[in-house]
Amino acid sequence: MDRRSPSYEVRLAKYAARGFEIYVPDLRRKDFDPTIFERALTRVSGLARLLVLEKLSTQEARDAYISQRRHIRARPNASGGPKYRRASRRARRRQRGLEGDLKAAAEFGGLQMSEYDVMFHIPYGPGIDAKRISKIVYETDFSTNSTLDPKNRERKFHRHPAFFGNMKEALGDCCKSNEIPF
């Protein structure tokens, strides 16, 4: 298999999650080295990575895989110290998401749908109307520019991930304090 980009296998796995499949006439699964499933996912590429992603298509399968890798390498469980508790709290909060969000439910097992979705997720589904989306956009915009965030303290200008409102509001200067970045 020829690699076109680092994310090629992940994209193919996402297509497989949506019901598409690649037909390889000479593929004989019994001839594959079973140790590909023991390696770290980042160290496997090409067809071997596709087979691993196929086997780890659910969150439970990936969690079991990570737990098995920890056990093999004699590493402690993820439920260790305060750093892990904080991380698991963040993961639970992210998992909770918005009730009725069909987009979040359709994502391929924790793999990012795109780089843009990481920063800004606009949900859709029953019960999610324009007013609710407008509130989410406003809150994201506000938190992106918050000076309370340690990452923003040294920043000399602020940014807006999205604009909302009518055309006059969206095309004009929405906050009157935008500076030209240097």
What are the counts of helices (DSSP H) followed by strands (DSSP E) for the chain? Answer: 8, 0
* 21 SS3 class: coil
Query: pLDDT of 171-180, one tens digit each?
Result: 766 666 655 5
Are residues 81 and 70 in contact, defined by beta-carbon separation less than 8 angstroms?
no
Those residues with Cβ within 8 angstroms of residue 143's Cβ, 6 or more apart along the chain or in another chain: 149
Query: pLDDT of 64-94, one tens digit each?
Result: 887 887 888 887 776 555 555 555 555 565 5
Helices assigned H by DSSP within the chain? 8-17, 47-55, 59-72, 82-96, 102-106, 115-119, 130-144, 167-171
Half-sphere CA count of 36, side-chain side, radius 13 A:
19
Report long-range pairs for 161-164 (Cβ below 8 Å, ≥24 apart): 161/119, 161/120, 161/137, 162/120, 162/137, 164/134, 164/137, 164/138
Secondary structure of the chain: what % helix, strand, coil (to 5)?
A: 50, 0, 50
Percent of the chain predicted with pLDDT > 70: 62
What are the residue ranges spanned by the domains of the chain? Answer: 8-72
Residue 27 tokens read as 């593929």
Give the closest residue to 73 by CA, choosing from 38, 33, 34, 27: 38
Task: Kindly indicate the confidence band of residue 98, based on its pLDDT and cuts at 50, 70 and 90.
Answer: low
Residue 90 tokens read as 């963040």
Provide the 10 A C-beta neighbour count for residue 50. 20
Average pLDDT, integer, range 32-50: 81
Are residues 38 and 72 in contact, defined by beta-carbon separation less than 8 angstroms?
yes
Query: pLDDT of 107-152, one tens digit each?
Result: 554 454 554 444 667 787 888 888 888 888 888 777 777 777 777 6
pLDDT of residue 4: 58
Residue 5 has pLDDT above 80, yes or no: no
Average pLDDT, integer, range 103-109: 55
